[in-house]
Chains A and B, each alone.
Chain A
Amino acid sequence: MSLVKVTIDQIEVEVEAGTTILNAARIIGGGVVPPAMCYYSKLEGSGGKCRTCLVKVAQGSAKDPRPMPKLVPSCRTLVQDGMVVQNITSPEVMEARKAITEFLLINHPLDCPVCDQAGECHLQDLSYDHGLADTQTVEDRRTFAPIDIGDKIKLHMNRCILCYRCVMVADQLTDQRVHGVLGRGDHCEISTHILKAVDNDFSGNMIDVCPVGALTDKTFRFKSRVWFTKPFDAHRECTKCSGKVVLWKKGDEILRVTGRKNKYGELEEFICNDCRFEHKEPNDWQIEGPRKIERHSVIGQNHYEKL
């Protein structure tokens, strides 16, 4: 495999040819990594929808040093040798990201106080970093009634940003997809075929891949805010999946089970519904220790022990 040299925000890095700019930035890590709402490294074909990862390519390659005419989505653009990319060093990119955030929030309801995702929501983080406190739109937001898809998952279509991640999970992880995106353009909507229940062994992963609170765990619904629960790494013998999970405990009670997410909010391993929904007794799990939480996260709030 040939290595190519690429400069992102004046930091030079050598990556394999065929890597995307986003993944090259993730190799560098830190502040130069563009935020991504729809790209998911474990889902094939994801990315290119939300436009939050737009970056500026100041120099296309060593052979053709012309800049790219428009901002490019870094999750879908492959690096070329000698490419110079600007992310946080370009005011143009920051301006565009601010506008994209505003676009994503056009139809997003202001119901963070109610939403179970608050505290671990990517859109919340994004709007906190780039968003405006005010909106310029005067039109009504589109509204839908919450739907039960299956007996374990609740769909709040109001909150959906149409990242298609959940559809890809269903496509690539389960053998029979029964939900998808209906309608076009502004009328797009995630739904199942006439409220058909989603009941596949791995359908629960939709909840974890959802960057916002559109798909939430019904067994955890309104039980507690995430920052009042304490996350623990745990595992169990499971025939269907690896059984490696994070338990969200309040006292001795296990309120929620999720997969383990890395620092970009992506699951390390997909877990099965058995582990996620059916095992909430402390005896079911071998606890490995407290989950490391990023220092800036609200989940670490009021936890004085070193998480």
Chain B
Amino acid sequence: MQALTNRSKVVSDKKMTFMERIYIPAILKGMSITIRHFFRKKISINYPEQTREFSKVYRGQHVLKRDDEGRERCTACGLCAVACPAEAITMIAGERKPGEENLYREEKYAEVYTINMLRCIFCGDCEDACPKEAIFLTDRIVVSQYERSSFIYGKDILVEPLDQSLRIDISARQTEKVLNFKQDKRFAHNK
């Protein structure tokens, strides 16, 4: 059979020489390789004390934004769910009752909104599809968990806090370039 690489060696059971039999040169050779690695530049970092620099458009954990008056923007239109290639998003819509105008922006809202973080591939298509600027991917990392069920994120995790100071900043993702791109995209179907 033809060898796949030229690195393969034919194994033989020929008798070892004296130098080979005392093993010391081989051990030293191995140790020198190991010790050389101690002085190399480290490629790992001490997370979480240290964190890597994130790209401005890093796509991490999602956030469901509120508007300036603290009302939820999401109207459960289902476009994120239909755009999702991994089918990670599900939602159940509810009708806003009189008196809830300060909670939800539109007459329909998402009663249940879940993203299965194990299915999500963080492609950002949901963000692109959203007509209400409600869902964004942020630079937050989805934390590891012990159970699979805890990766199904509901509205309690996804919706940003009402408190103005605790809002999730997504301005880095809304640069002029991005907004212009979205502006162009609006006309894409109107050739």
Given A225-B78, A227-B78, decide whether A132 and B190 contact each other with a Cβ distance below 8 A.
Answer: yes
The stretch that binds B, out of A4-12, A14-22, A107-115, A203-211, is: A107-115
Tell whether B41 is near chain A: CB-to-CB under 8 Å. no
The stretch that binds A, out of B31-39, B79-87, B147-155, B159-167, is: B79-87
Cβ-Cβ contact count across A and B, 8 Å cutoff: 44
Closest CB of chain A to B86's CB: distance in Å? 11
User: What does DSSP make chain B's interface, helix, strand, loop or mixed?
Assistant: loop
Which residues of chain A come closer than 8 Å to B81, judged between CB atoms? 228
Tell whether A194 is near chain B: CB-to-CB under 8 Å. no
B108 touches A302 (CB 8 A): no
For chain A residues 233-267, which have a beta carbon within 8 Å of chain B? none
B77 touches A302 (CB 8 A): no
Which residues of chain B come closer than 8 Å to A224, judged between CB atoms? 78, 93
B82 touches A221 (CB 8 A): no
Tell whether B23 is near chain A: CB-to-CB under 8 Å. no
Closest CB of chain B to A270's CB: distance in Å? 28
Which residues of chain B come closer than 8 Å to A114, judged between CB atoms? 75, 77, 106-108
Closest CB of chain A to B185's CB: distance in Å? 10
Closest CB of chain B to A100's CB: distance in Å? 16
Which residues of chain A come closer than 8 Å to B106, judged between CB atoms? 111, 113-114
Given A113-B106, A118-B77, decide whether A301 and B95 contact each other with a Cβ distance below 8 A.
Answer: no
Which residues of chain B come closer than 8 Å to A113, judged between CB atoms? 75, 77, 79, 106, 108, 131-132
Q: Name the residue in A133, A146, A221, A222 with the highest tally of chain B Cβ atoms < 10 Å from its Cβ.
A: A222
For chain A residues 209-237, which have a beta carbon within 8 Å of chain B? 221-225, 227-228
Among the listed A111, A112, A146, A301, which residue makes an inter-chain contact with B82, where contact means beta carbons less than 8 Å apart? A301
Q: In whole angstroms, how far apart are the Cα atoms of A118 and B77 in the complex?
A: 9
For chain B residues 60-107, which have a beta carbon within 8 Å of chain A? 75-79, 81-82, 87, 93-95, 106-107
Tell whether B14 is near chain A: CB-to-CB under 8 Å. no
A298 touches B82 (CB 8 A): yes
Q: In whole angstroms, how far apart are the Cα atoms of A208 and B190 in the complex?
A: 28
CB closest chain-B residue, reference A156:
B107
Closest CB of chain B to A1's CB: distance in Å? 43
Q: In whole angstroms, how far apart are the Cα atoms of A146 and B96 in the complex?
A: 13
Which residues of chain A come closer than 8 Å to B94, judged between CB atoms? 222
Which residues of chain A come closer than 8 Å to B15, judged between CB atoms? none
CB closest chain-A residue, reference B95:
A222
Interface size on A, residues (CB 8 A): 20
Q: In whole angstroms, how far apart are the Cα atoms of A133 and B186 in the complex?
A: 7
Q: In whole angstroms, how far apart are the Cα atoms of A113 and B79 in the complex?
A: 8
Which residues of chain B come closer than 8 Å to A48, judged between CB atoms? none
Which residues of chain B come closer than 8 Å to A111, judged between CB atoms? 106
Given A111-B106, A114-B106, decide whether A222 and B79 contact each other with a Cβ distance below 8 A.
Answer: no
Q: In whole angstroms, how far apart are the Cα atoms of A222 and B77 in the complex?
A: 9
Tell whether B29 is near chain A: CB-to-CB under 8 Å. no
Q: In whole angstroms, how far apart are the Cα atoms of A131 and B87 in the complex?
A: 30
B132 touches A133 (CB 8 A): no
Tell whether B7 is near chain A: CB-to-CB under 8 Å. no
Q: In whole angstroms, how far apart are the Cα atoms of A298 and B95 in the complex?
A: 23
- How would residues 149 to 191 of chain B score, 1 for a CB under 8 Å from any chain A CB and 0 otherwise? 0000000000000000000000000000000000000110110
Q: In whole angstroms, how far apart are the Cα atoms of A133 and B93 in the complex?
A: 27
Q: In whole angstroms, how far apart are the Cα atoms of A131 and B191 in the complex?
A: 11
Tell whether A144 is near chain B: CB-to-CB under 8 Å. no
A222 touches B131 (CB 8 A): no
Which residues of chain A come closer than 8 Å to B186, judged between CB atoms? 133
Q: In whole angstroms, how far apart are the Cα atoms of A133 and B94 in the complex?
A: 29
Q: In whole angstroms, how far apart are the Cα atoms of A133 and B77 in the complex?
A: 19
Among the listed A131, A222, A228, A298, which residue makes an inter-chain contact with B108, where contact means beta carbons less than 8 Å apart? A222
Q: In whole angstroms, how far apart are the Cα atoms of A117 and B187 in the complex?
A: 23
Closest CB of chain A to B96's CB: distance in Å? 10
- How would residues 287 to 303 of chain A score, 1 for a CB under 8 Å from any chain B CB and 0 otherwise? 00000000000100110
Q: In whole angstroms, how far apart are the Cα atoms of A118 and B76 in the complex?
A: 12
Closest CB of chain B to A31's CB: distance in Å? 16
18 A-B residue pairs with CB within 8 Å: A111-B106, A112-B77, A113-B77, A113-B106, A113-B108, A113-B131, A114-B77, A114-B107, A118-B77, A131-B190, A133-B186, A133-B187, A133-B190, A222-B76, A225-B77, A298-B82, A302-B82, A302-B87
- 14 additional contacts (CB under 8 A) given A113-B106, A224-B78, A301-B82: A113-B77, A113-B108, A113-B131, A113-B132, A114-B75, A114-B106, A128-B189, A222-B93, A222-B94, A222-B95, A224-B93, A225-B77, A225-B78, A298-B82
